[in-house]
Amino acid sequence: MEDHHDNHVTSYAQNFKILFVLLLLTISTILIIKLDLGPYTVAMALFLASVKTTIVLTYFMHLKGEKLILRLMVGGVFLLFAIIVIITFIDYYFRII
């Protein structure tokens, strides 16, 4: 009954490693924006933020050890949000005023 809890205890060292990766990604975000890749800057910043989000969801929020249904729900919600963003921008760019 309780064993599903003990299955995925993240060790302290692992937590620390994850923080280290997240900090590295934050520094990369700042550097990439300072470098200024022109039109790709925003895309790169958002991409790095998404990578960080995935890491936080997987390890800090323990989705890795969760049941498949919960992982599918989280994936589905992010997919839904992406679709809403895309539809909004299709509307914005192709609207004839």
What's the number of CA atoms in the CB half-sphere (13 Å) around residue 69?
0
The CA R_g of the chain, rounded to the nearest whole Å, is: 18
Q: How far is the CB of 69 from other proteins (least distance, A)?
A: 8
Among 72, 79, 83, 85, binds other proteins (CB under 8 A): 85
Asked if 1 is part of the footprint of other proteins (rule: CB under 8 A), the reply reads yes
- Residues 36, 2: contact at Cβ < 8 Å? no
Token pair 């934050």 is at which residue? 26
Asked if 94 is part of the footprint of other proteins (rule: CB under 8 A), the reply reads no
Q: How far is the CB of 41 from other proteins (least distance, A)?
A: 6
Tell me the angle at which helices 12-35 and 40-55 cross, rounded to the nearest 10 degrees: 180
Site for other proteins in 55-84 (CB under 8 A): 56-57, 59-61, 66-67, 70, 73-74, 77-78, 81, 84
Termini Cα distance of the chain: 60
Site for other proteins in 31-50 (CB under 8 A): 33, 41-42, 45-46, 48-49
Asked if 11 is part of the footprint of other proteins (rule: CB under 8 A), the reply reads yes
